[in-house]
Copies of this chain bind each other. A is one copy, B any other.
Amino acid sequence: MGENGTEKFMIRTDLAVEAKESFEEDNVEIRGVIIDEKYKEDSDIKITRVVIETKNGAKAMGKPMGTYITLEAPNMVVPDEDYHREISKELAEQLKKIIPIEKEIAVLVVGLGNREVTPDSLGPNVVENLLITRHVVKEYGKEAYGKNKVNIISGIIPGVMAQTGMETLEIIKGVVEETKPDYVIAIDALAARSTKRLNRTIQITDTGINPGSGVGNHRNGLNKESLNIPVIAIGIPTVVDAATIVNDTMENLIDAMEQTKELKAIGGTLKTFDSNEKYQLIREIISPHLNGMFVTPKDIDETIKLLGYTISEGLNIALS
């Protein structure tokens, strides 16, 4: 979650679809970025595909080159009878487009995050519900499953640095070298820029996990560059940085001021600030106590349980 010095005013978001929107707000067109939107009426899922094709596109978006697919489903956390199987199925379908599962493959699923902090426990939760097959196939052969094609699935919950003293990359790199999977799928709780996408958006990307702005230094990420095999990342935004919440409010404040007679002059002044200037102003006035703070809903426990199940079922469908 570090920030890259040269892009210092960039709003922090893990979602490509939000990075895109922030440009749209400023009416800036981004070269090298292709966007494609689709809405599936029967399942009420909006699918957005963002492809960053060039280095300039990557720089502008603050994200590495690659494909980012988001599934937005407004009712994702509304409990229903079959735990949103329609979303699991759509996730499986999108995954299969990224991972060509014609022949048998070996996949290591990595559950990132801290199982002891509720909104950060999505990754561990998914791995706990996953159908693990590697040990069975190694001991008894795929006949154990009565099928003639069985993917080799392993899983790990590496913990966070405060618990292990190690970078996640150090752990995963070692495990990948020993067990030689064909793919890594990393599951993570993300930070969104806005509360409105919280817990209702799944992002799937073939670029892996890339802390910070993602341009330049990839060494600490979980990606093809660091692990030498393709890394697919699946994430759901479950928190918003506290600083971002404050920024959102500023934007609303300025709009409100425009419409309040006695405050109109002020709103006008602030309006002349561009987004970098506004963000800098906000950074200055935000209490230092807000660093390392996140915002999350009070019922996040139920949400994580439901979302974790939806993702693990999506993986089980795609991989079995």
A253-287 vs B, Cβ < 8 Å mask (1 yes, 0 no): 10110000011011001100000000001101111
In the complex the two chains form, is B135's CB within 8 Å of A162's CB?
A: yes
Interface set of A (CB-CB < 8 Å, partner B): 79, 114, 116-118, 120, 127-128, 131-136, 152-159, 161-167, 170-171, 173-179, 194-196, 198, 242, 245-246, 248-249, 252-253, 255-256, 262-263, 265-266, 269-270, 281-282, 284-287, 289-290, 292-302
Tell me the minimal C-beta distance from A105 to chain B in angstroms: 14
Instruction: Give the chain B neighbours of A135 by CB distance below 8 A.
Output: 161-162, 164-167
- Majority SS of interface residues in chain A? helix
- 9 closest cross-chain pairs (CB), A and B: A174-B174, A134-B165, A154-B165, A116-B301, A195-B289, A174-B178, A266-B266, A252-B285, A132-B165
- CB pair B132–A164 under 8 Å, yes or no, is yes
Known contacts A173-B174, A173-B178; is-contact A134 B245 (Cβ 8 Å): no
The 8 Å CB contact of A284, one of B256, B269, B298, B301, is B256
Whether A177 contacts B179 in the complex (CB less than 8 A), given A165-B155, A266-B269, A295-B242, comes out as no
CA distance A174 to B171 in the complex (A): 7
A35 to B287, CA, bound (A): 28
Taking A134-B165, A174-B176 as known contacts, 12 extra A-B pairs with beta carbons closer than 8 A to each other, sorted by chain A number, are A133-B165, A135-B161, A154-B166, A155-B163, A155-B164, A162-B299, A166-B178, A171-B178, A174-B179, A194-B287, A293-B298, A294-B298
Asked if A128 and B163 make an inter-chain contact with CB atoms under 8 angstroms apart, the answer reads: yes
